[in-house]
Amino acid sequence: MTLKDFSNIKKLLETEHNIVIVTHKNPDGDAMGSSLGLYHFLNAYQQNVQVIVPNDYPSFLKWMPGHESVLKFDTQTEISEAQINNADIIFALDFNAFHRTGDMEKPLEKSKALKIMIDHHQEPEPFAKYMYSDVNMSSTSEMIYHFIDELDGLQHMNREIATCLYTGIMTDTGSFRFSSTTSLTHQVIAHLIDAGAKNSDIHNHVFDSNSYNRLQLLGCALSNLKVIPESRTAYITLSQEELNKFHFRKGDTEGFVNYGLSLENVVLAAIFIEDKQEGIVKISLRSEGNFSVNAMAREHFNGGGHINAAGGKSHLSLKDTVEKFISILPEYNKALNDE
């Protein structure tokens, strides 16, 4: 995005518009943090703003300021469609292609609204008039901070915006430990704390709100963990039956994949989660160093993401998906062992 683009967007905000903010399916902390952070910022400009998500988000995010105003497309379809049709401006946050929004893809494609993308995923599709895409950014929430800065809007920074953006940056950086975390990220975080983000409370809300069932499910996942030493790979499976046994709720498996990566000498970790309702196996991939799980997800699992964190899906059975994964590993052995 050029300076001229930022100045055009700044002008747009001088008059009232119907603005819709959308994000990807199965919204995570960064999706919700960036969407709600931008929502609170735009409210300072007396805009008519609505956040719409494709489907529900985990309960560990259901304390974020403004979350109760969010529309869920899958259960509030009619009103969500009306808002999209009525929008003058649509912000597309934390995703790089309309299909990442599930059933919202069609209404978004049809919409005549001016579209602004703010995103840090690899290989963005050019669907927006204004594209602020930077794959080196830690999170879309950090980008929202820079976006606000470019619009000369930091004087509107408040506790709500700061809390939402802090949450998104914290979750997408694995609590500031992934290599995408820069000194600039920490400078942004410092400003957010100064603006009222209660860092310790936010960590508690997100990470210390486990249910007993979730911890039992983690125990099950860890006992299913397998290691393939020659490929420096670890993977976890969770069947629908296992999920049911521990009364799985959305978000319960968040972060499980990282346990594989915490093993000594492992540079690639995967988790395969059966979803009988959708008829798919959802896959999360994580890596250390230069090994690109984005490439692996794109090449084999209809997915994508970032170099060190990506996801995808398979329509095969859980067992066949794992077999496919094991069968493709040898083609990556050299790269994995060079890490």
- Count interface residues toward Mn ion (CB under 5 A): 4
- Nearest approach in angstroms of CB 78 to ligand 5GP is 27
Query: Does position 139 bind ligand 5GP by CB under 6 A?
Result: no
Query: Does position 310 bind ligand 5GP by CB under 6 A?
Result: yes
Residue 313 binding partner per list ligand 5GP, Mn ion, none, with a CB distance cut-off of 5 to 8 Å that depends on partner kind: ligand 5GP
Q: Are strands 89-93 and 280-287 parallel, antiparallel or unpaired?
A: unpaired
Q: Which of residues 179-238 bind ligand 5GP (CB under 6 A)?
A: none
Site string for ligand 5GP, 105-134 (x = CB under 6 A): ----------------x-------------
Q: What's the burial of 190, exposed, middle or buried (CB within 10 Å: 0-12/13-18/19+)? A: exposed
- Nearest approach in angstroms of CB 258 to Mn ion is 16
Q: Rounded to an integer, what distance in angstroms lies between the CA atom of residue 77 and that of residue 127?
A: 23
Secondary structure of residue 96 in the 3-state scheme? coil
Q: Rounded to an integer, what distance in angstroms lies between the CA atom of residue 183 and that of residue 180?
A: 10
- Nearest approach in angstroms of CB 339 to ligand 5GP is 19
Q: Are 95 and 104 in contact (CB under 8 A)?
A: no
Segment interacting with Mn ion, rule: CB under 5 A, options 13-21, 140-148, 184-192, 245-253: 140-148
Q: Which of 92, 221, 309, 322 binds ligand 5GP (CB under 6 A)?
A: 309
Give the number of other CB atoms < 10 A from CB of residue 175. 13
Q: Rounded to an integer, what distance in angstroms lies between the CA atom of residue 317 and that of residue 98?
A: 27
Identify which of residues 66 and 311 has a Cβ nearer to ligand 5GP in the complex. Answer: 311
Q: What's the burial of 22, exposed, middle or buried (CB within 10 Å: 0-12/13-18/19+)? A: buried
Q: Which of residues 20-59 bind Mn ion (CB under 5 A)?
A: 30
Q: Are 329 and 226 in contact (CB under 8 A)?
A: no
Query: Does position 268 bind ligand 5GP by CB under 6 A?
Result: no
Segment interacting with ligand 5GP, rule: CB under 6 A, options 58-66, 79-87, 300-308, 324-332: 300-308
Q: Which of residues 80-99 bind Mn ion (CB under 5 A)?
A: 94
- Which residue intervals of 29-139 are DSSP H helices? 29-43, 77-86, 105-110
Give the number of other CB atoms < 10 A from CB of residue 231. 19
Query: Does position 54 bind ligand 5GP by CB under 6 A?
Result: no
Q: Which residues bind ligand 5GP (CB under 6 A)?
A: 24, 100, 121, 284, 303-306, 309-313
